[in-house]
């Protein structure tokens, strides 16, 4: 036999059920009204979610692109560092090679001047003159190279006269070699050679003397070989 609820209890149950359904309807209606308002205002939750996902996807893609670019930058930096090290390595090897090539060119020009000078004239020549700073103040090393061009069937001998022209205390002044070298050094500058001869002499300039020109006169003691005289502007070489 089915159980029957008292009338009062059934009335309470109906009232509770009615209120529950009414609350659901009110909640659903409120949500629909809210969504309707947002849609009417141009907002769609579905589109918003889609847009949000699209932005998330785009952000993810950009993050990947940034990571790739960072990797490429790191690779480029590494390549640049490698290239710089390679350049330093090549430069370190190239500099001595260039020096050697220059020395060989000078040697070729030197021997060409002995065998076949550009003007085609035989005789004594001043092939090179260099002034190199010494260890002390006002001290200089003089390197002079004399050659005999074209004809080498006999030796040539003689002496070199050396002087420096300049100014001292506002006055013109000329100093001979004997006044520029130490007293214990041999003053005569003699030469004797068949092809060439080089000399190294050390001089010390007087105080307050400003050099301008170097006068060199090569006096030959060999018949048929003429003397030569040449002036050089004072110019210092580093080596």
Query: What proportion of the chain, given as a percentage, has pLDDT over 70?
Result: 66
Q: Has domain 121-233 been given CATH number 1.10.3720.10?
A: no
CA 41 and chain centroid, separation: 66
Mean pLDDT of the chain: 77
**Neighbouring C-beta atoms of residue 14, cutoff 10 Å:** 10
Exposure letters 50-87 (e unless 16+ CB within 10 A, then b): eeeeeeeeeeeeeeeeeeeeeeeeeeeeeeeeeeeeee
Does 110 have pLDDT greater than 80? no
Main-chain dihedrals φ then ψ at residue 110, nearest 5 degrees = -65, -50
Main-chain dihedrals φ then ψ at residue 117, nearest 5 degrees = -65, 155
Does 185 have pLDDT greater than 70? no
Tokens of 90: 């090549």
Question: For position 182, what pLDDT does the model report?
Answer: 72
pLDDT digits (tens, 9 = 90+) for 122-135: 778 888 899 999 88
DSSP state of 138: T
Q: Which of 28-32, 172-176, 210-214 has the lowest mean pLDDT?
A: 28-32
C-alpha span between 23 and 19 (Å, rounded): 6
Give the range with max mean pLDDT: 3-7, 37-41, 76-80, 120-124.
76-80
Tokens of 128: 């090179």
Main-chain dihedrals φ then ψ at residue 230, nearest 5 degrees = -150, 145
C-alpha span between 229 and 125 (Å, rounded): 9
CA angle 126, 130, 134 (to 5 degrees): 145
C-alpha span between 103 and 175 (Å, rounded): 33
Compute the average pLDDT of residues 174-185: 81
Compute the average pLDDT of residues 177-194: 79
C-alpha span between 215 and 230 (Å, rounded): 6
């Amino acid at each position: 036999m089915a159980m029957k609820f008292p009338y009062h209890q059934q009335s309470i149950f109906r009232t509770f059920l009615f209120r529950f359904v009414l609350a659901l309807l009110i909640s659903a209606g409120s949500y629909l009204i809210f969504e309707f308002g947002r849609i009417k205002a141009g907002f769609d939750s579905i589109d918003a979610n889609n847009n949000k996902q699209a932005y998330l996807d785009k952000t993810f893609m950009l993050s990947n692109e940034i990571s790739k670019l960072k990797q490429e930058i790191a690779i480029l930096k590494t390549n640049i560092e490698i290239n710089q090290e390679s350049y330093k390595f090549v430069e370190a090897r190239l500099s001595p090679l260039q020096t050697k090539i220059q020395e060989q060119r000078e040697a070729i020009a030197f021997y060409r001047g002995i065998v076949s000078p550009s003007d085609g004239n035989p005789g004594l020549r001043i092939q090179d003159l260099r002034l190199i700073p010494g260890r002390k103040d006002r001290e200089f090393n003089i390197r002079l190279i004399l050659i005999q061009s074209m004809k080498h069937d006999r030796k040539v001998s003689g002496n070199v006269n050396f002087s420096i022209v300049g100014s001292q205390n506002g006055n013109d002044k000329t100093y001979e070699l004997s006044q520029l070298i130490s007293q214990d050094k041999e003053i005569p500058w003699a030469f004797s050679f068949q092809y060439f001869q080089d000399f190294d002499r050390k001089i010390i300039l007087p105080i307050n003397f400003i050099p301008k020109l170097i006068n060199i006169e090569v006096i030959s003691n060999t018949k048929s070989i003429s003397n030569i005289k040449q002036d050089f502007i004072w110019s210092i070489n580093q080596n």
